[in-house]
Amino acid sequence: MGLINSTHVMAVMTQHTKGSEWVPYEYGRVRQPGDTACWQHPHHAFTLPDYMLLGETTQSESAINQWLHRLYKLDPHCPSITWQWTATTPLP
């Protein structure tokens, strides 16, 4: 139910999610292609599936924050505050 009500999705792509049947389903539940992104683990060299090209690919926390800030600016319902995503465990 959470995916049905989600407006945005970020998929985490690692060697463990490569070939997952859930990732395309989850990615496809988002209402608009521009509202999707993925984080590709920088130490795992593999080709992303074609459907991931519908969204933005990030490989760092700063790239995730840039994506979020762009979305935030486009949403007329968001108040004008500064927001930043921070990982509880630093990304590699």
| Contacting residues for 71 by C-beta, under 8 A, at least 6 apart | 8, 35
Every domain of the chain and the residues it spans: 2-74
The 10s digit of each residue's pLDDT in 64-81 is 888 888 877 777 666 555
Reported pTM: 0.68
pLDDT value of residue 52: 80
Say what the pLDDT of residue 77 is. Answer: 64
Write the pLDDT tens digit of every residue in 24-68.
Answer: 777 777 766 667 888 888 787 778 888 787 788 888 888 888 888
Q: Name the β-bridge partners of 57.
A: 38
How confident is the model over 7-11, as a mean pLDDT? 79
Q: Is 31 exposed, middle or buried (0-12, 13-18, 19+ CB in 10 A)?
A: exposed
3-state secondary structure of 72: helix
What is the average per-residue pLDDT within 77-90?
Answer: 63
Share of the chain above pLDDT 90, in %: 0
Other beta carbons within 10 Å of 70 = 11
Which residues, including other chains, have CB under 8 Å from residue 31's CB and lie 6 or more apart? 7
Q: Amino acid letter at 17?
A: T
